[in-house]
């Protein structure tokens, strides 16, 4: 069954999907490939929006709509802009260096959402196209062997994920002020707290280069600051120091570069001292739900 790229029609029997992409003008070849594999998708109606995050969109296909942001507003807020513009019952957040190896990726993800109206998010399995090992952060499980087991999870990888618009809008979207890092954990916890499920589907594969997150200049600072903000915004008060103590210990063990560790500490201090945004601590029943699916919100 062929798909369509254009303005979604609410009367269509096919799933309608707004595709939200960000681009900064720095990876034109990757963007072309990402869009080409998107264009080949079948069984869905797509409305594709590329947000130029500090870049004026140019040279895009005529079936792609664009938004120009004069300044880089960060990944989560850029995705919010794209999500507001793109039309469809579902939103596919899609990195500009990702690719879809088969023509039915989005249709399979949409089928899982349509089959169970309790599910807010379906995450596919990320695979490096050149065969490099997948980073642990791509798999929402402690056990990552063979891509991890399928089923309900407590968080998700943001690079290529299908989200039910109703759920996304209900909790207010991504935390735009995070700029970079942990926005997926924050959104996942807020969705879980209002009763939505997050599903991991490793049988559905997307391609993404296995590049280290630490390549970004702001990584260690925002990683630490946003870790604090996630806890301050979402956790019951007794769990905030537990969560932050655990992750401080993990960071000290993992990060051997003294300069990077100092940067991380600076971000942590900023997170403690600054406003994290609206605080809505999750219910203890949500804590229990997250623990049951394998990730108690202290690790």
* Mean pLDDT, contiguous 10-residue spans, the chain (299 residues): 59 90 96 98 98 96 98 97 98 98 98 98 97 94 93 96 98 97 97 98 97 75 96 98 96 91 95 97 98 92
* Element containing residue 202 per DSSP (H, E): strand 197-207
pLDDT of residue 217: 63
Measured in residues, the chain has a length of: 299
> What's 226's DSSP letter?
H
> What's 62's DSSP letter?
T
Question: How many Å is the maximal CA-CA distance in the chain?
Answer: 58
pLDDT of residue 9: 60
Q: CB–CB of 251/226 below 8 Å?
A: no
pLDDT of residue 6: 61
Residue 1 makes CB contacts below 8 A (sequence gap 6+) with 14, 42, 43
Q: Which domains are present in the chain?
A: 7-211 (3.90.550.10), 215-281 (no CATH)
Angle at 268 between CA 237 and CA 177, to 5 degrees: 80
Q: Phi and psi of 134, rounded to 5°?
A: -75, 135
pLDDT of residue 169: 98
Tokens for 82? Answer: 């794209």
The helix/strand count (H/E) of the chain reads as 9, 9
Q: CB–CB of 271/227 below 8 Å?
A: yes
pLDDT of residue 1: 43
pTM (predicted TM-score)? 0.94
CA distance 144 to 289: 21
pLDDT of residue 212: 78
pLDDT of residue 7: 60
Tokens for 292? Answer: 């049951």
| Distances, alpha carbon 35 to alpha carbons 4, 29, 287, in Å | 14, 10, 39
CA distance 51 to 102: 25
pLDDT of residue 100: 98
| CA atoms within 13 Å, Cβ hemisphere of 117 | 2
């Amino acid at each position: 069954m062929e798909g369509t790229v254009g303005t979604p029609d609410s009367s269509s029997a096919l799933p309608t999907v707004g595709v939200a992409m960000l681009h900064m003008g720095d990876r034109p070849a990757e963007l072309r490939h990402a869009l080409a594999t998107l264009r080949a998708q079948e069984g869905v109606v797509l409305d594709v929006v590329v947000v130029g995050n500090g870049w004026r969109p140019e040279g895009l296909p005529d079936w792609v709509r664009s938004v120009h942001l004069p300044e880089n507003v960060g990944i989560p807020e850029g995705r919010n802009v794209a999500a507001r513009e793109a039309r469809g019952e579902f939103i596919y957040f899609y990195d500009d260096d990702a690719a879809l190896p088969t023509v039915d990726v989005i249709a399979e993800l949409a089928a899982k959402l349509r089959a169970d109206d309790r599910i807010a998010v379906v995450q596919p399995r990320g695979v490096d196209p050149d065969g490099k090992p997948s980073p642990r952060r791509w798999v929402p499980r402690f056990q990552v062997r063979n891509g991890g087991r399928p089923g309900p999870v407590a968080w998700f990888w943001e690079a290529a994920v299908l989200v039910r618009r109703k759920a996304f809008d209900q909790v207010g979207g991504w935390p735009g002020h995070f700029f970079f890092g942990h926005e997926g954990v924050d959104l996942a916890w807020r969705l879980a707290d209002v009763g939505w499920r997050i599903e991991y589907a490793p049988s559905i594969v997307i391609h993404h280069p296995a590049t280290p997150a630490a390549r970004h200049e702001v990584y260690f600072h925002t990683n630490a600051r946003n870790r604090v903000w996630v806890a301050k915004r979402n956790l019951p008060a007794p769990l905030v120091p537990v969560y932050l103590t655990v992750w401080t210990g993990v960071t000290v063990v993992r990060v051997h570069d003294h300069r990077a560790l100092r940067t991380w500490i600076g971000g942590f201090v900023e997170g403690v001292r600054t406003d994290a945004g609206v605080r809505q601590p999750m219910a203890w029943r949500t804590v229990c739900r997250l623990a049951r699916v394998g990730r108690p919100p202290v690790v």
